[in-house]
Structure 1
Amino acid sequence: MSSPASRPRKLGIAAGGGPLPLAVADAARAAGRDVFIVGVRGAAGPDIARYPHGWVRVGAMGRFLKLFKQAGCEDIVIIGPMNRPRLGDIVPDFRGLLLLPRFIRRLKTGDDALLRGVVEFLEENGLKVVGVETFLPQLLAREGLLTIRAPSASQEKDIDIAIAAARDLGARDAGQGAVARKGEIIALEDVRGTDVMLAELAAARAPGNLERDGVLVKLPKPEQERRVDRPTIGVRTVENAAAAGLAGIAVEADGAIVNDAEDVVRRANELGLFVLGFPHSRTIGPKP
């Protein structure tokens, strides 16, 4: 019989949408960990019922903590997309009411400030927040060219222009992505996310225009709480970039998540886009 000291720490998963919460749960269970999932209503899918689980509404911070504590969780992973809540959508419980002024200040500052507040709240109450890479290290973008197609010399310059713009955007906690084409920034990500930004570019594209140029760059914000939020791309990002007429996507190696990397590379090759992982050192330079 294992002693408490040798028993693997029980993992709690705060689940937003998408497939990653269950992917983390499966990896943790394969590593011998017990798992309990708390799904955020309106974001997490019903498939979390594969594991012991509970549900919480946005703002019910007391129940959020209570569910993890009652389940005996010690480590917490916060994973999966969730729409940025509007103040009118937050329905706090008593604990949430006490914390509401603190979170309203952070909500007005930016997404990363809000997530740091959630991390602080959990760790102040004895839980340890860990990153998704603890269980799924293969999700992190690797350095180098991932696809058959490579960026041209002019597209390499566009990557550097977009890196600088995304770095400036992130310093203001305003977004993680930028698009550059022919030496100019043509789009910046905002709270609506990358998909909306690319959809707007696609809508503005002239009918019949088959030219493919320009690059999407995504990189972490300078002070980003990487344990709970990293820029992410997936197959849909590749397809949306193609629809927007872009030539490729570049992300920071070890800083961004590539969801379903094999499918991302396959789809990018089918559509004739490049996908590149650049080193963190490339993000250091003068602002535009």
Structure 2
Amino acid sequence: MRIPVPLNALRAFEAAARHLSIKDAALELAVTPSAVSHQLRTLEAMLGVELLRRIGTRLELTDAGCRLAPSLNQGFALIAEGVGALREARRDGPLRVNILPAFATHWLAPRLNLYPFEQRGFSLQISTTQDNVDLAAGVADAGIWYGDGQWPGLQADLLFEATIDLYSRPGFAVGTRWERIEQLSRANLFVSRHCLSWRRWMDSLPGGPIEPAVITRVDSSGLTVQAAADGGGVSIAVCELAESVVREGRLESVFGHPVSAGLGFWLVYPDALREDRRLDNLRGWLRSRIREQLAQKAAAA
């Protein structure tokens, strides 16, 4: 339904009518008294009636104002109730987190046995998509995304910077460095469309770059890891995600040559959730697991 007058003008009148004070209405609406007066004059001009009249130092409602005020009061109360119920549900319900499938499978899933789901404020609802969803539209509350941290209108906290390396099934490429480079020149290289810096790795390899016989670009970085582990070829993959498959003995670094991807994994959320306890709980837990991962890597070095 189209409202034929500005909503801000109706809100200004509703507050002024309830308080019978321009100053108190301005304090409630966080605007100046002159702004409230301007909105009232605009509303009266558009309706062609006087709504509030000053009698000495007091404000009084006219007959027209008395007819309009109760409906507006009820309407804005219903709006406040609906908004409050939505905010309450978002605050007390599970935190809805959107994650790249590869991160969910290879980094998060192996650690979920450590997540305190049973504690108040730690409930999660996890969805995975290859592309970032619209957090501003409420599709999810937060995301764990891969990129440079620049998402307009959103806050982004760096979880960890990513490194990339070339991986294959154990024994897929053997011999000296030159022999392995020769073998890989006849291989199929699987590259995710999210891996924007794979050429950087190729160009930085001593004795390289490698020119594979075939380059297969796929939608999922998880698929590149799986294809390499199954012997379908080799894969440029994020080291921090490949670690779980390496520990299982299904994957190995061909040259042990990790290179910065120039990108990272970020916890992304709207500014409205900056003080959300559930988000703070998840962020703290993620950072604890990341510190453990770094400590394990340092101990193994």
TM-score interval, normalised by the smaller of the two chains = 0.3 to 0.5
Kindly name which structure, 1 or 2, has the bigger radius of gyration based on alpha carbons: 2
Greater helix share, 1 or 2?
Answer: 2
Greater strand share, 1 or 2?
Answer: 2
Q: Of the two structures, which has the highest relative contact order with CA contacts closer than 8 Å and spacing of 6 or more?
A: 2
Q: What TM-score comes out, normalization by structure 2 length?
A: 0.32
Q: What TM-score comes out, normalization by structure 1 length?
A: 0.33
